[in-house]
């Protein structure tokens, strides 16, 4: 799924709201030693679980696990440094998505991408993807595609959609 979305070896990625790190693990494996994954999470218990999981499956030099509840991740990630941002099953918790999307754009390198998994299954309608596409377009993030994958959600695997966007720098 990650490679088909465009993640490559050497990429710098952000896993925003990484939870227990279930997507951070494969991300770190795809970007490899030349790459880097910033994983931002606000919940202490999730951070502890992520640390344990990452110690088993990820290279510690590749992943930077950041505890933050500030949607701008307290300025910890360099601007214009990121190739791929993942906001998986998290937008339903973000009251100000405009601010978050502007922050994402500020982090992206030209041609960098944002991938959104609204996790419509099993709770449809929590995230309005049409509104998100409109908001992204307004700030110059071009809609690329919506693709169905086997997604990890809670304790289940579900067929669900990931939406991707590209920052075409002006």
Ligand X SMILES: C[S@@+](CC[C@H](N)C(=O)[O-])C[C@H]1O[C@@H](n2cnc3c(N)ncnc32)[C@H](O)[C@@H]1O
Quick one: 29 or 43, whose CB is closer to ligand X? 43
Distance, CA of 50 to CA of 107 (rounded, Å): 23
Closest CB to ligand X among 40 and 85? 40
- For the chain, how are helix, strand and coil distributed in percent, rounded to 5? 30, 35, 35
Nearer to ligand X, 41 or 83 (CB): 41
> Of these, 60, 93, 106, 139, which contacts ligand X (CB under 6 A)?
93
Q: How many CB atoms lie within 10 A of CB 95?
A: 7
130-139 contacts at long range (C-beta below 8 A, 24 or more positions apart) = 132/91, 132/97, 132/163, 133/163, 135/97, 135/98, 135/101, 136/101, 136/165, 139/101, 139/102, 139/105
- Which tokens in the block code for residue 14? 């952000």
Question: Residue 155 or 170: which CB sits closer to ligand X?
Answer: 155
Task: Give min distance, CB of 73 to ligand X, in A.
Answer: 7
- The residue number with the shortest CB distance to ligand X is 19
Name the minimum Å distance from CB 38 to ligand X.
11
Q: Is 88 in the site for ligand X (CB under 6 A)?
A: yes
Which ranges of 44-128 would DSSP assign to H, the alpha helix?
Answer: 44-57, 97-107
Which residues, numbered 16-55, are part of the site for ligand X (CB under 6 A)? 17-19, 22-23, 40-43, 46
Residue 23 or 165: the one with the smaller Cβ distance to ligand X is 23
List residues binding ligand X (CB under 6 A). 17-19, 22-23, 40-43, 46, 68-69, 71, 88-90, 93
């Amino acid at each position: 799924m990650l490679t088909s979305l465009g993640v490559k070896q050497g990429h710098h990625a952000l896993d925003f709201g990484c939870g227990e790190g279930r997507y951070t693990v494969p991300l770190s494996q795809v970007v490899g030693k030349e790459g880097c994954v910033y994983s931002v999470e606000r919940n202490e218990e999730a951070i502890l679980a992520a640390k344990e999981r990452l110690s088993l499956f990820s290279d510690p030099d590749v992943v930077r696990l950041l505890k933050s509840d500030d949607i701008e991740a307290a300025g910890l990630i360099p601007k214009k440094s990121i190739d791929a941002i993942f906001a998986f099953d998290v937008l339903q918790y973000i009251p100000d998505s405009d601010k978050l999307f502007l922050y994402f754009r500020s982090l992206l390198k030209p041609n960098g991408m944002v991938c959104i998994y609204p996790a419509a299954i099993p709770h449809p309608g929590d995230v309005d993807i049409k509104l998100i596409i409109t908001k992204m377009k307004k700030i110059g993030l071009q809609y690329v595609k919506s693709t169905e994958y086997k997604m990890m959600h809670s304790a289940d695997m579900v067929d669900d959609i990931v939406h991707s966007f590209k920052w075409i720098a002006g």
